[in-house]
Structure 1
Protein backbone atom coordinates (compact mmCIF):
# COMPACT_ATOMS: atom_id res chain seq x y z
CA UNK A 1 0.00 0.00 0.00
CA UNK A 2 1.34 3.45 -0.91
CA UNK A 3 2.02 5.86 2.00
CA UNK A 4 -0.68 8.27 0.81
CA UNK A 5 -3.24 5.45 0.64
CA UNK A 6 -2.24 4.29 4.12
CA UNK A 7 -2.70 7.81 5.48
CA UNK A 8 -6.15 8.02 3.92
CA UNK A 9 -7.10 4.66 5.44
CA UNK A 10 -5.94 5.81 8.90
CA UNK A 11 -7.94 9.04 8.67
CA UNK A 12 -11.03 7.14 7.47
CA UNK A 13 -10.68 4.71 10.39
CA UNK A 14 -10.50 7.56 12.89
CA UNK A 15 -13.58 9.15 11.35
CA UNK A 16 -15.56 5.91 11.67
CA UNK A 17 -14.42 5.35 15.26
CA UNK A 18 -15.23 8.92 16.23
CA UNK A 19 -18.71 8.73 14.74
CA UNK A 20 -19.40 5.41 16.41
CA UNK A 21 -18.31 6.69 19.80
CA UNK A 22 -20.30 9.93 19.73
CA UNK A 23 -22.11 10.51 23.03
CA UNK A 24 -24.11 13.59 22.08
CA UNK A 25 -25.34 15.32 18.97
CA UNK A 26 -24.91 18.96 18.04
CA UNK A 27 -28.45 19.54 19.29
CA UNK A 28 -27.60 18.17 22.74
CA UNK A 29 -24.62 20.37 23.64
CA UNK A 30 -23.03 23.68 22.63
CA UNK A 31 -20.46 23.50 19.86
CA UNK A 32 -16.82 23.52 20.89
CA UNK A 33 -16.38 25.91 17.98
CA UNK A 34 -18.55 28.63 19.48
CA UNK A 35 -16.40 31.78 19.42
CA UNK A 36 -17.20 32.31 23.11
CA UNK A 37 -15.52 28.96 23.84
CA UNK A 38 -12.25 29.86 22.10
CA UNK A 39 -9.18 31.09 23.97
CA UNK A 40 -6.17 32.79 22.38
CA UNK A 41 -2.80 31.32 23.39
CA UNK A 42 0.75 32.63 23.39
CA UNK A 43 0.03 36.11 22.08
CA UNK A 44 2.09 38.00 24.69
CA UNK A 45 5.83 37.24 24.17
CA UNK A 46 5.37 36.15 20.53
CA UNK A 47 3.57 39.21 19.19
CA UNK A 48 5.61 41.01 16.51
CA UNK A 49 3.79 44.23 17.43
CA UNK A 50 4.70 43.89 21.12
CA UNK A 51 1.28 45.05 22.31
CA UNK A 52 0.72 46.06 25.90
CA UNK A 53 -2.24 44.94 28.03
CA UNK A 54 -4.73 47.52 26.74
CA UNK A 55 -3.81 47.02 23.08
CA UNK A 56 -3.93 43.26 23.50
CA UNK A 57 -7.40 43.35 25.07
CA UNK A 58 -8.67 45.58 22.24
CA UNK A 59 -7.17 43.21 19.66
CA UNK A 60 -9.00 40.23 21.15
CA UNK A 61 -12.23 42.19 21.35
CA UNK A 62 -11.97 43.13 17.67
CA UNK A 63 -11.40 39.48 16.77
CA UNK A 64 -14.44 38.42 18.78
CA UNK A 65 -12.32 36.31 21.14
CA UNK A 66 -13.44 36.51 24.76
CA UNK A 67 -10.84 34.25 26.42
CA UNK A 68 -7.10 34.48 26.95
CA UNK A 69 -4.56 31.90 28.12
CA UNK A 70 -1.92 34.23 29.50
CA UNK A 71 1.70 33.44 28.71
CA UNK A 72 4.36 35.78 30.02
CA UNK A 73 8.05 36.40 30.44
CA UNK A 74 10.06 38.21 33.11
CA UNK A 75 9.45 41.63 31.53
CA UNK A 76 5.69 41.16 31.90
CA UNK A 77 5.70 40.59 35.67
CA UNK A 78 5.30 44.31 36.49
CA UNK A 79 2.19 44.46 34.30
CA UNK A 80 0.32 41.45 35.75
CA UNK A 81 -2.31 43.63 37.39
CA UNK A 82 -2.61 45.89 34.35
CA UNK A 83 -3.17 42.78 32.19
CA UNK A 84 -6.03 41.54 34.33
CA UNK A 85 -7.59 44.99 34.55
CA UNK A 86 -7.42 45.55 30.78
CA UNK A 87 -8.99 42.17 30.08
CA UNK A 88 -11.76 42.76 32.60
CA UNK A 89 -12.42 46.21 31.16
CA UNK A 90 -12.98 44.76 27.69
CA UNK A 91 -14.85 41.60 28.68
CA UNK A 92 -11.97 39.15 28.15
CA UNK A 93 -11.73 36.25 30.60
CA UNK A 94 -8.27 35.02 31.56
CA UNK A 95 -9.04 31.31 31.53
CA UNK A 96 -5.48 30.06 32.05
CA UNK A 97 -2.15 31.39 33.33
CA UNK A 98 1.25 29.96 32.47
CA UNK A 99 2.68 28.73 35.78
CA UNK A 100 6.20 27.25 35.49
CA UNK A 101 6.74 27.36 39.26
CA UNK A 102 5.14 28.69 42.45
CA UNK A 103 4.84 32.43 42.00
CA UNK A 104 3.35 34.70 44.68
CA UNK A 105 2.97 37.61 42.23
CA UNK A 106 0.66 35.56 40.05
CA UNK A 107 -1.30 34.34 43.04
CA UNK A 108 -1.62 37.91 44.35
CA UNK A 109 -2.95 39.15 40.98
CA UNK A 110 -5.46 36.30 40.84
CA UNK A 111 -6.65 36.89 44.38
CA UNK A 112 -6.86 40.69 44.22
CA UNK A 113 -8.96 40.62 41.05
CA UNK A 114 -11.14 37.66 41.96
CA UNK A 115 -10.40 35.63 38.84
CA UNK A 116 -10.09 31.84 38.61
CA UNK A 117 -7.77 30.82 35.77
CA UNK A 118 -6.36 27.36 35.33
CA UNK A 119 -2.66 27.26 36.25
CA UNK A 120 -0.79 25.44 33.47
CA UNK A 121 2.24 23.45 34.66
CA UNK A 122 4.88 21.59 32.63
CA UNK A 123 7.07 18.71 33.64
CA UNK A 124 10.22 19.27 35.65
CA UNK A 125 13.60 19.19 33.96
CA UNK A 126 15.35 18.71 37.29
CA UNK A 127 13.67 15.39 38.15
CA UNK A 128 15.98 12.93 36.43
CA UNK A 129 14.94 9.49 37.66
CA UNK A 130 14.07 7.06 34.88
CA UNK A 131 11.96 4.87 37.15
CA UNK A 132 8.28 5.54 36.43
CA UNK A 133 7.05 4.95 39.97
CA UNK A 134 9.70 7.24 41.41
CA UNK A 135 9.01 9.91 38.80
CA UNK A 136 5.28 9.82 39.52
CA UNK A 137 5.94 10.30 43.23
CA UNK A 138 8.41 13.13 42.58
CA UNK A 139 6.09 14.98 40.17
CA UNK A 140 3.13 14.56 42.51
CA UNK A 141 5.18 15.99 45.37
CA UNK A 142 6.21 18.94 43.18
CA UNK A 143 2.68 19.70 42.01
CA UNK A 144 0.93 19.21 45.38
CA UNK A 145 1.80 22.66 46.82
CA UNK A 146 0.89 24.32 43.52
CA UNK A 147 -2.49 22.58 43.60
CA UNK A 148 -3.01 23.58 47.21
CA UNK A 149 -2.28 27.22 46.37
CA UNK A 150 -4.67 26.99 43.43
CA UNK A 151 -7.45 25.37 45.45
CA UNK A 152 -7.31 28.20 47.99
CA UNK A 153 -8.14 30.59 45.13
CA UNK A 154 -10.80 28.41 43.52
CA UNK A 155 -8.51 27.47 40.63
CA UNK A 156 -7.53 24.25 38.87
CA UNK A 157 -4.08 23.07 37.83
CA UNK A 158 -3.55 21.78 34.30
CA UNK A 159 -0.73 19.37 33.44
CA UNK A 160 0.52 20.72 30.12
CA UNK A 161 2.19 18.29 27.71
CA UNK A 162 5.29 20.24 26.79
CA UNK A 163 8.99 20.67 27.55
CA UNK A 164 9.90 17.22 28.91
CA UNK A 165 9.25 13.93 27.02
CA UNK A 166 8.26 11.80 30.03
CA UNK A 167 5.73 14.39 31.17
CA UNK A 168 4.31 14.69 27.65
CA UNK A 169 2.93 11.16 27.91
CA UNK A 170 -0.74 11.40 28.91
CA UNK A 171 -0.72 8.08 30.74
CA UNK A 172 2.05 9.44 32.98
CA UNK A 173 -0.06 12.54 33.61
CA UNK A 174 -3.04 10.38 34.53
CA UNK A 175 -0.85 8.45 36.98
CA UNK A 176 0.28 11.72 38.61
CA UNK A 177 -3.32 12.93 38.93
CA UNK A 178 -4.45 9.64 40.45
CA UNK A 179 -1.56 9.75 42.92
CA UNK A 180 -2.58 13.27 43.93
CA UNK A 181 -6.20 12.17 44.33
CA UNK A 182 -5.14 9.46 46.75
CA UNK A 183 -3.56 12.24 48.79
CA UNK A 184 -6.71 14.34 48.77
CA UNK A 185 -5.82 16.69 45.86
CA UNK A 186 -8.71 16.83 43.40
CA UNK A 187 -8.22 20.05 41.41
CA UNK A 188 -5.63 18.80 38.89
CA UNK A 189 -6.45 17.91 35.28
CA UNK A 190 -4.92 17.59 31.82
CA UNK A 191 -4.37 20.27 29.18
CA UNK A 192 -3.96 18.46 25.87
CA UNK A 193 -1.90 20.24 23.21
CA UNK A 194 -2.12 18.95 19.66
CA UNK A 195 1.23 20.54 18.76
CA UNK A 196 3.14 18.69 21.50
CA UNK A 197 1.63 15.28 20.82
CA UNK A 198 3.57 12.66 18.88
CA UNK A 199 1.37 9.59 19.10
CA UNK A 200 -0.19 7.37 16.47
CA UNK A 201 -3.32 8.58 14.68
CA UNK A 202 -4.83 5.12 14.93
CA UNK A 203 -4.42 5.27 18.72
CA UNK A 204 -5.82 8.77 19.15
CA UNK A 205 -9.50 7.81 19.69
CA UNK A 206 -8.53 5.41 22.50
CA UNK A 207 -6.12 7.95 24.00
CA UNK A 208 -8.74 10.68 24.01
CA UNK A 209 -11.21 8.35 25.69
CA UNK A 210 -8.65 7.70 28.46
CA UNK A 211 -7.85 11.35 29.08
CA UNK A 212 -11.39 12.72 28.71
CA UNK A 213 -12.34 12.29 32.40
CA UNK A 214 -9.28 14.37 33.35
CA UNK A 215 -9.42 16.91 30.54
CA UNK A 216 -9.78 20.62 31.34
CA UNK A 217 -8.61 22.22 28.05
CA UNK A 218 -7.62 21.29 24.48
CA UNK A 219 -5.32 23.42 22.33
CA UNK A 220 -5.58 22.88 18.57
CA UNK A 221 -2.97 23.03 15.82
CA UNK A 222 -2.28 21.86 12.30
CA UNK A 223 -0.94 18.28 12.40
CA UNK A 224 1.12 16.38 9.86
CA UNK A 225 0.08 12.95 8.59
CA UNK A 226 3.04 11.51 10.49
CA UNK A 227 2.15 12.72 13.97
CA UNK A 228 5.36 11.27 15.38
CA UNK A 229 7.11 14.32 13.91
CA UNK A 230 7.06 17.59 15.81
CA UNK A 231 4.64 19.68 13.72
CA UNK A 232 5.68 23.12 14.88
CA UNK A 233 2.99 25.77 15.21
CA UNK A 234 0.73 25.48 12.18
CA UNK A 235 -2.64 26.92 11.26
CA UNK A 236 -5.62 24.72 12.07
CA UNK A 237 -6.84 23.11 8.85
CA UNK A 238 -3.59 23.58 6.94
CA UNK A 239 -2.25 20.05 7.50
CA UNK A 240 -3.40 16.47 7.01
CA UNK A 241 -4.43 15.06 10.40
CA UNK A 242 -6.06 17.67 12.64
CA UNK A 243 -9.48 17.34 10.95
CA UNK A 244 -9.74 13.68 11.96
CA UNK A 245 -8.41 14.43 15.44
CA UNK A 246 -10.85 17.30 15.97
CA UNK A 247 -13.63 15.01 14.79
CA UNK A 248 -12.76 12.66 17.66
CA UNK A 249 -12.83 15.54 20.16
CA UNK A 250 -16.19 16.83 18.93
CA UNK A 251 -17.79 13.38 18.76
CA UNK A 252 -16.69 12.54 22.30
CA UNK A 253 -19.17 15.00 23.80
CA UNK A 254 -16.40 16.87 25.63
CA UNK A 255 -17.24 20.56 25.68
CA UNK A 256 -14.47 22.29 27.60
CA UNK A 257 -12.48 25.32 26.47
CA UNK A 258 -10.53 25.17 23.21
CA UNK A 259 -7.36 27.14 22.52
CA UNK A 260 -5.95 28.51 19.28
CA UNK A 261 -2.23 29.19 19.34
CA UNK A 262 -0.16 32.01 17.84
CA UNK A 263 3.45 31.58 19.02
CA UNK A 264 5.16 33.18 16.03
CA UNK A 265 7.61 35.90 16.97
CA UNK A 266 7.83 37.29 13.44
CA UNK A 267 4.07 37.71 12.90
CA UNK A 268 1.42 40.05 14.25
CA UNK A 269 -0.51 38.10 16.90
CA UNK A 270 -3.78 39.35 15.42
CA UNK A 271 -2.90 37.73 12.10
CA UNK A 272 -1.86 34.50 13.79
CA UNK A 273 -5.10 34.17 15.76
CA UNK A 274 -7.19 35.25 12.75
CA UNK A 275 -5.57 32.57 10.59
CA UNK A 276 -6.42 29.91 13.16
CA UNK A 277 -10.01 31.12 13.52
CA UNK A 278 -10.44 30.93 9.75
CA UNK A 279 -8.94 27.44 9.79
CA UNK A 280 -11.33 26.41 12.53
CA UNK A 281 -14.27 27.66 10.46
CA UNK A 282 -13.01 25.51 7.57
CA UNK A 283 -12.77 22.49 9.88
CA UNK A 284 -16.30 23.06 11.18
CA UNK A 285 -17.69 23.05 7.63
CA UNK A 286 -15.73 19.93 6.71
CA UNK A 287 -17.04 18.12 9.77
CA UNK A 288 -20.59 18.79 8.62
CA UNK A 289 -19.95 17.75 5.02
CA UNK A 290 -16.67 16.76 3.37
CA UNK A 291 -15.66 19.22 0.66
CA UNK A 292 -17.95 22.00 1.87
CA UNK A 293 -15.13 24.08 3.33
CA UNK A 294 -13.59 24.95 -0.02
CA UNK A 295 -9.80 25.26 -0.40
CA UNK A 296 -7.73 24.27 2.60
CA UNK A 297 -6.33 27.10 4.71
CA UNK A 298 -2.74 28.01 3.90
CA UNK A 299 0.03 28.31 6.48
CA UNK A 300 1.89 31.55 5.67
CA UNK A 301 5.12 30.88 7.54
CA UNK A 302 5.81 27.14 8.06
CA UNK A 303 8.33 27.05 10.85
CA UNK A 304 9.18 25.43 14.13
CA UNK A 305 7.75 26.79 17.37
CA UNK A 306 10.10 29.15 19.21
CA UNK A 307 9.64 27.65 22.66
Structure 2
Protein backbone atom coordinates (compact mmCIF):
# COMPACT_ATOMS: atom_id res chain seq x y z
CA UNK A 1 0.00 0.00 0.00
CA UNK A 2 1.41 3.41 -0.88
CA UNK A 3 2.53 5.41 2.14
CA UNK A 4 0.23 8.31 1.24
CA UNK A 5 -2.85 6.05 1.16
CA UNK A 6 -1.87 4.35 4.44
CA UNK A 7 -1.53 7.77 6.11
CA UNK A 8 -4.91 8.87 4.82
CA UNK A 9 -6.62 5.73 6.19
CA UNK A 10 -4.97 6.10 9.58
CA UNK A 11 -6.02 9.72 9.71
CA UNK A 12 -9.63 8.85 8.88
CA UNK A 13 -9.78 6.14 11.57
CA UNK A 14 -8.25 8.48 14.10
CA UNK A 15 -10.77 11.19 13.31
CA UNK A 16 -13.66 8.75 13.70
CA UNK A 17 -12.34 7.67 17.09
CA UNK A 18 -12.04 11.26 18.18
CA UNK A 19 -15.64 11.94 17.14
CA UNK A 20 -17.07 8.76 18.71
CA UNK A 21 -17.46 10.11 22.29
CA UNK A 22 -19.44 13.04 20.93
CA UNK A 23 -21.63 10.83 18.76
CA UNK A 24 -22.59 8.38 21.52
CA UNK A 25 -24.04 10.97 23.95
CA UNK A 26 -26.04 12.54 21.13
CA UNK A 27 -27.58 9.17 20.29
CA UNK A 28 -28.38 8.56 23.94
CA UNK A 29 -29.92 12.00 24.21
CA UNK A 30 -32.13 11.25 21.22
CA UNK A 31 -33.43 8.11 22.93
CA UNK A 32 -33.92 9.71 26.35
CA UNK A 33 -37.29 11.46 25.80
CA UNK A 34 -38.85 8.22 24.52
CA UNK A 35 -37.51 6.37 27.56
CA UNK A 36 -39.02 8.98 29.85
CA UNK A 37 -42.39 8.74 28.11
CA UNK A 38 -42.30 4.99 28.73
CA UNK A 39 -41.40 5.38 32.42
CA UNK A 40 -43.84 3.58 34.73
CA UNK A 41 -43.52 4.18 38.50
CA UNK A 42 -43.09 0.96 40.46
CA UNK A 43 -43.55 2.49 43.93
CA UNK A 44 -45.28 5.51 45.44
CA UNK A 45 -41.86 7.16 45.74
CA UNK A 46 -41.31 6.73 42.02
CA UNK A 47 -44.41 8.78 41.30
CA UNK A 48 -42.06 11.63 42.23
CA UNK A 49 -39.15 10.46 40.08
CA UNK A 50 -37.78 13.23 37.83
CA UNK A 51 -38.88 11.26 34.76
CA UNK A 52 -42.49 11.47 35.93
CA UNK A 53 -42.69 15.18 36.77
CA UNK A 54 -44.32 17.90 34.68
CA UNK A 55 -43.78 21.62 35.28
CA UNK A 56 -47.23 23.19 35.37
CA UNK A 57 -48.54 26.77 35.44
CA UNK A 58 -45.13 28.40 35.10
CA UNK A 59 -46.58 31.47 33.35
CA UNK A 60 -49.95 32.39 34.84
CA UNK A 61 -48.98 33.65 38.30
CA UNK A 62 -45.30 34.39 37.61
CA UNK A 63 -44.62 38.11 38.24
CA UNK A 64 -41.37 37.92 36.26
CA UNK A 65 -41.99 38.64 32.61
CA UNK A 66 -39.60 36.15 31.08
CA UNK A 67 -39.08 35.71 27.37
CA UNK A 68 -39.97 32.33 25.91
CA UNK A 69 -36.28 31.42 25.85
CA UNK A 70 -35.73 32.52 29.46
CA UNK A 71 -38.73 30.46 30.53
CA UNK A 72 -37.50 27.38 28.69
CA UNK A 73 -34.05 27.79 30.22
CA UNK A 74 -35.58 28.07 33.71
CA UNK A 75 -37.69 24.92 33.31
CA UNK A 76 -34.71 22.99 31.90
CA UNK A 77 -32.40 24.17 34.70
CA UNK A 78 -34.73 22.58 37.24
CA UNK A 79 -34.42 19.26 35.44
CA UNK A 80 -37.90 19.01 33.95
CA UNK A 81 -38.25 17.17 30.65
CA UNK A 82 -42.02 17.68 30.46
CA UNK A 83 -44.05 20.87 30.72
CA UNK A 84 -47.61 22.11 30.30
CA UNK A 85 -48.70 25.25 28.46
CA UNK A 86 -51.54 27.33 29.90
CA UNK A 87 -53.21 28.68 26.76
CA UNK A 88 -55.14 31.57 28.22
CA UNK A 89 -56.04 33.90 25.33
CA UNK A 90 -53.18 36.32 26.14
CA UNK A 91 -50.65 33.48 25.94
CA UNK A 92 -52.02 31.72 22.86
CA UNK A 93 -49.92 33.83 20.42
CA UNK A 94 -46.79 32.54 22.24
CA UNK A 95 -47.67 28.86 21.91
CA UNK A 96 -45.61 27.94 18.86
CA UNK A 97 -42.57 29.98 19.87
CA UNK A 98 -42.69 28.63 23.42
CA UNK A 99 -43.08 25.02 22.29
CA UNK A 100 -40.08 25.46 20.00
CA UNK A 101 -37.98 26.97 22.80
CA UNK A 102 -38.89 24.08 25.09
CA UNK A 103 -38.04 21.60 22.34
CA UNK A 104 -34.62 23.19 21.85
CA UNK A 105 -33.95 22.51 25.55
CA UNK A 106 -35.06 18.87 25.30
CA UNK A 107 -38.43 19.53 26.97
CA UNK A 108 -41.68 18.08 25.64
CA UNK A 109 -44.94 20.03 25.88
CA UNK A 110 -47.18 17.21 27.09
CA UNK A 111 -50.39 19.15 27.74
CA UNK A 112 -52.07 22.35 26.59
CA UNK A 113 -54.71 23.90 28.83
CA UNK A 114 -57.59 26.00 27.51
CA UNK A 115 -60.71 27.71 28.84
CA UNK A 116 -63.68 27.42 26.49
CA UNK A 117 -66.64 29.78 26.38
CA UNK A 118 -69.29 28.47 23.95
CA UNK A 119 -71.23 25.38 22.94
CA UNK A 120 -69.01 25.04 19.86
CA UNK A 121 -65.48 25.57 21.19
CA UNK A 122 -63.94 24.14 18.02
CA UNK A 123 -64.94 27.43 16.34
CA UNK A 124 -63.49 29.73 19.00
CA UNK A 125 -60.53 31.70 17.65
CA UNK A 126 -58.03 30.71 20.33
CA UNK A 127 -58.98 27.03 20.08
CA UNK A 128 -58.59 27.09 16.30
CA UNK A 129 -55.16 28.72 16.65
CA UNK A 130 -54.01 26.10 19.17
CA UNK A 131 -54.91 23.16 16.94
CA UNK A 132 -53.41 24.88 13.90
CA UNK A 133 -50.10 25.16 15.78
CA UNK A 134 -50.19 21.56 16.99
CA UNK A 135 -51.00 20.19 13.56
CA UNK A 136 -48.31 22.29 11.90
CA UNK A 137 -45.75 21.01 14.42
CA UNK A 138 -47.03 17.44 14.28
CA UNK A 139 -47.38 17.28 18.07
CA UNK A 140 -50.20 15.67 20.04
CA UNK A 141 -50.19 16.83 23.68
CA UNK A 142 -53.19 16.15 25.88
CA UNK A 143 -55.76 18.95 25.83
CA UNK A 144 -56.85 20.04 29.31
CA UNK A 145 -60.07 22.03 29.06
CA UNK A 146 -62.64 23.69 31.28
CA UNK A 147 -65.32 26.35 31.27
CA UNK A 148 -64.85 29.42 33.44
CA UNK A 149 -66.05 28.86 37.00
CA UNK A 150 -69.23 30.92 36.67
CA UNK A 151 -70.44 29.43 33.40
CA UNK A 152 -74.09 28.30 33.48
CA UNK A 153 -74.40 29.15 37.18
CA UNK A 154 -77.99 30.35 36.73
CA UNK A 155 -79.00 27.36 34.60
CA UNK A 156 -80.80 24.35 36.15
CA UNK A 157 -78.44 21.47 36.89
CA UNK A 158 -79.75 19.06 34.24
CA UNK A 159 -79.52 21.73 31.56
CA UNK A 160 -76.00 22.58 32.72
CA UNK A 161 -74.99 18.95 32.26
CA UNK A 162 -76.47 18.90 28.77
CA UNK A 163 -74.61 22.06 27.79
CA UNK A 164 -71.32 20.73 29.14
CA UNK A 165 -71.74 17.43 27.30
CA UNK A 166 -72.59 19.23 24.06
CA UNK A 167 -69.60 21.58 24.29
CA UNK A 168 -67.05 18.99 25.35
CA UNK A 169 -68.31 16.56 22.71
CA UNK A 170 -67.58 19.19 20.08
CA UNK A 171 -64.09 19.73 21.53
CA UNK A 172 -63.45 15.97 21.84
CA UNK A 173 -64.13 15.54 18.13
CA UNK A 174 -61.76 18.40 17.29
CA UNK A 175 -59.04 17.05 19.58
CA UNK A 176 -59.36 13.56 18.11
CA UNK A 177 -59.01 14.98 14.61
CA UNK A 178 -55.61 16.38 15.65
CA UNK A 179 -54.57 13.16 17.38
CA UNK A 180 -54.91 14.63 20.87
CA UNK A 181 -56.71 13.27 23.93
CA UNK A 182 -59.14 15.57 25.70
CA UNK A 183 -59.18 15.68 29.49
CA UNK A 184 -61.56 17.74 31.63
CA UNK A 185 -59.62 19.99 33.98
CA UNK A 186 -60.95 19.81 37.53
CA UNK A 187 -61.12 23.37 38.82
CA UNK A 188 -63.40 22.83 41.77
CA UNK A 189 -66.95 24.11 42.44
CA UNK A 190 -69.93 22.19 41.01
CA UNK A 191 -68.01 21.39 37.85
CA UNK A 192 -65.31 19.66 39.89
CA UNK A 193 -67.59 17.25 41.75
CA UNK A 194 -66.77 13.62 40.94
CA UNK A 195 -70.39 12.84 40.01
CA UNK A 196 -70.48 15.77 37.59
CA UNK A 197 -67.14 14.92 35.99
CA UNK A 198 -68.08 11.28 35.52
CA UNK A 199 -71.51 12.24 34.21
CA UNK A 200 -69.96 14.55 31.60
CA UNK A 201 -67.40 11.92 30.59
CA UNK A 202 -70.09 9.27 30.16
CA UNK A 203 -72.26 11.73 28.26
CA UNK A 204 -69.43 12.52 25.85
CA UNK A 205 -68.80 8.83 25.24
CA UNK A 206 -72.48 8.30 24.54
CA UNK A 207 -72.56 11.26 22.17
CA UNK A 208 -69.28 10.65 20.32
CA UNK A 209 -67.86 7.26 21.26
CA UNK A 210 -64.71 9.09 22.40
CA UNK A 211 -63.08 8.34 25.76
CA UNK A 212 -62.27 11.55 27.60
CA UNK A 213 -60.02 11.83 30.66
CA UNK A 214 -59.97 13.97 33.76
CA UNK A 215 -57.22 15.92 35.54
CA UNK A 216 -57.10 16.01 39.34
CA UNK A 217 -55.69 19.00 41.18
CA UNK A 218 -54.86 18.41 44.84
CA UNK A 219 -55.56 22.05 45.68
CA UNK A 220 -59.11 21.64 44.33
CA UNK A 221 -59.62 18.36 46.13
CA UNK A 222 -59.76 19.30 49.81
CA UNK A 223 -63.37 18.12 49.91
CA UNK A 224 -62.20 14.67 48.75
CA UNK A 225 -59.57 14.16 51.44
CA UNK A 226 -61.75 12.37 54.01
CA UNK A 227 -62.57 9.60 51.54
CA UNK A 228 -59.85 9.99 48.96
CA UNK A 229 -59.44 6.25 48.19
CA UNK A 230 -63.12 5.97 47.24
CA UNK A 231 -62.95 9.09 45.06
CA UNK A 232 -59.87 7.67 43.36
CA UNK A 233 -61.56 4.33 42.77
CA UNK A 234 -64.27 6.10 40.81
CA UNK A 235 -61.92 8.42 38.92
CA UNK A 236 -59.18 5.93 38.09
CA UNK A 237 -60.57 4.69 34.75
CA UNK A 238 -60.38 8.26 33.46
CA UNK A 239 -57.53 9.85 35.44
CA UNK A 240 -54.75 11.05 33.08
CA UNK A 241 -52.83 13.54 35.24
CA UNK A 242 -52.52 14.68 38.86
CA UNK A 243 -51.14 18.06 39.93
CA UNK A 244 -49.92 18.16 43.53
CA UNK A 245 -49.20 20.72 46.24
CA UNK A 246 -48.90 20.79 50.00
CA UNK A 247 -52.09 19.64 51.76
CA UNK A 248 -53.05 19.98 55.44
CA UNK A 249 -55.39 17.51 57.11
CA UNK A 250 -57.15 20.37 58.93
CA UNK A 251 -58.43 21.59 55.55
CA UNK A 252 -60.26 18.36 54.74
CA UNK A 253 -63.78 19.12 53.59
CA UNK A 254 -62.91 22.66 52.53
CA UNK A 255 -65.10 23.86 49.65
CA UNK A 256 -64.36 27.57 49.57
CA UNK A 257 -63.39 29.53 46.49
CA UNK A 258 -59.89 30.59 47.56
CA UNK A 259 -57.73 27.51 47.09
CA UNK A 260 -55.12 26.88 49.75
CA UNK A 261 -51.95 26.26 47.74
CA UNK A 262 -48.85 25.30 49.71
CA UNK A 263 -45.48 24.22 48.33
CA UNK A 264 -45.08 20.46 48.09
CA UNK A 265 -43.76 19.01 51.34
CA UNK A 266 -45.07 21.83 53.53
CA UNK A 267 -48.37 20.12 54.31
CA UNK A 268 -49.01 17.17 56.59
CA UNK A 269 -51.19 15.11 54.28
CA UNK A 270 -49.88 15.09 50.68
CA UNK A 271 -47.64 12.13 51.57
CA UNK A 272 -50.70 10.11 52.56
CA UNK A 273 -52.56 11.18 49.42
CA UNK A 274 -49.64 10.20 47.17
CA UNK A 275 -49.50 6.74 48.75
CA UNK A 276 -53.26 6.39 48.33
CA UNK A 277 -52.91 7.52 44.73
CA UNK A 278 -50.35 4.80 44.02
CA UNK A 279 -52.36 2.18 45.93
CA UNK A 280 -55.39 3.02 43.77
CA UNK A 281 -53.36 2.08 40.69
CA UNK A 282 -52.34 5.49 39.37
CA UNK A 283 -49.07 5.41 37.40
CA UNK A 284 -49.42 8.60 35.36
CA UNK A 285 -47.60 11.94 35.40
CA UNK A 286 -47.37 14.23 38.41
CA UNK A 287 -47.61 17.97 37.84
CA UNK A 288 -45.58 20.33 40.01
CA UNK A 289 -47.79 23.38 40.17
CA UNK A 290 -46.55 26.96 40.36
CA UNK A 291 -49.75 28.74 41.39
CA UNK A 292 -48.97 31.26 44.12
CA UNK A 293 -49.59 34.86 43.18
CA UNK A 294 -46.56 37.10 43.36
CA UNK A 295 -44.04 34.26 43.80
CA UNK A 296 -41.39 34.09 41.09
CA UNK A 297 -41.73 30.85 39.14
CA UNK A 298 -38.05 30.04 39.62
CA UNK A 299 -38.48 30.29 43.40
CA UNK A 300 -41.74 28.34 43.39
CA UNK A 301 -40.32 25.48 41.32
CA UNK A 302 -37.23 25.33 43.54
CA UNK A 303 -39.30 25.18 46.75
CA UNK A 304 -41.61 22.54 45.28
CA UNK A 305 -38.75 20.36 44.09
CA UNK A 306 -37.08 20.52 47.50
CA UNK A 307 -40.35 19.24 48.97
CA UNK A 308 -40.62 16.58 46.28
CA UNK A 309 -37.14 15.29 47.19
CA UNK A 310 -38.05 15.08 50.88
CA UNK A 311 -41.35 13.34 50.19
CA UNK A 312 -39.71 10.89 47.86
CA UNK A 313 -37.19 9.90 50.52
CA UNK A 314 -39.94 9.46 53.13
CA UNK A 315 -42.15 7.41 50.80
CA UNK A 316 -39.20 5.21 49.88
CA UNK A 317 -38.27 4.63 53.53
CA UNK A 318 -41.82 3.53 54.36
CA UNK A 319 -41.41 0.39 52.27
TM-score, with structure 2 as normaliser: 0.77
Aligned to 2:143: 119
Aligned to 1:141: 166
Aligned to 1:285: 313
Give the helix-richer structure, 1 or 2: 2
Structure 1 residues 135, 269: closer, same or farther in 2, change over 3 A?
same
SS in 1 for 2:222: coil
Contact 1:54 1:83 in 2 (8 A): yes
Structure 1 residues 185, 42: closer, same or farther in 2, change over 3 A?
same
Instruction: Note the C-alpha offset of 1:27.
Output: 4.8
Match of 1:158 among 183, 188, 193: 183
Coordinate RMSD, CA, aligned: 2.3
Aligned to 1:188: 212
Contact 1:223 1:231 in 2 (8 A): no
Structure 1 residues 282, 213: closer, same or farther in 2, change over 3 A?
same
Aligned to 1:239: 267
Aligned to 1:170: 194
Instruction: Note the C-alpha offset of 1:187.
Output: 3.7
Structure 2 CA distance for aligned equivalents of residues 65 and 104 of structure 1: 28
SS in 1 for 2:99: helix
Structure 2 CA distance for aligned equivalents of residues 184 and 289 of structure 1: 46
Q: Which has the larger radius of gyration?
A: 2
Instruction: Note the C-alpha offset of 1:71.
Output: 1.3
Task: Map 1:198-213 onto structure 2 (within 5 A).
Answer: 198-213=222-237
Instruction: Note the C-alpha offset of 1:156.
Output: 1.1
Aligned to 2:3: none
TM-score, with structure 1 as normaliser: 0.80
Match of 1:98 among 113, 116, 130: 113
Match of 1:57 among 63, 72, 94: 72
Structure 2: give runs of 5+ residues left out of the alignment: 1-39, 122-126
Aligned to 1:84: 99
For structure 1, which segment, 222-231 or 255-264, has the greater mean C-alpha deviation from structure 2 after superposition?
222-231
Structure 1: give runs of 5+ residues left out of the alignment: 1-24, 293-307
Task: Map 1:6-85 onto structure 2 (within 5 A).
Answer: 27=42, 31-85=46-100
Structure 2 CA distance for aligned equivalents of residues 30 and 283 of structure 1: 8
Structure 2 CA distance for aligned equivalents of residues 29 and 154 of structure 1: 31
Instruction: Note the C-alpha offset of 1:44.
Output: 1.1
Contact 1:221 1:260 in 2 (8 A): yes
Contact 2:261 2:291 in 1 (8 A): yes
Structure 1 residues 30, 95: closer, same or farther in 2, change over 3 A?
farther
Structure 2 CA distance for aligned equivalents of residues 79 and 182 of structure 1: 35
Instruction: Note the C-alpha offset of 1:119.
Output: 1.4
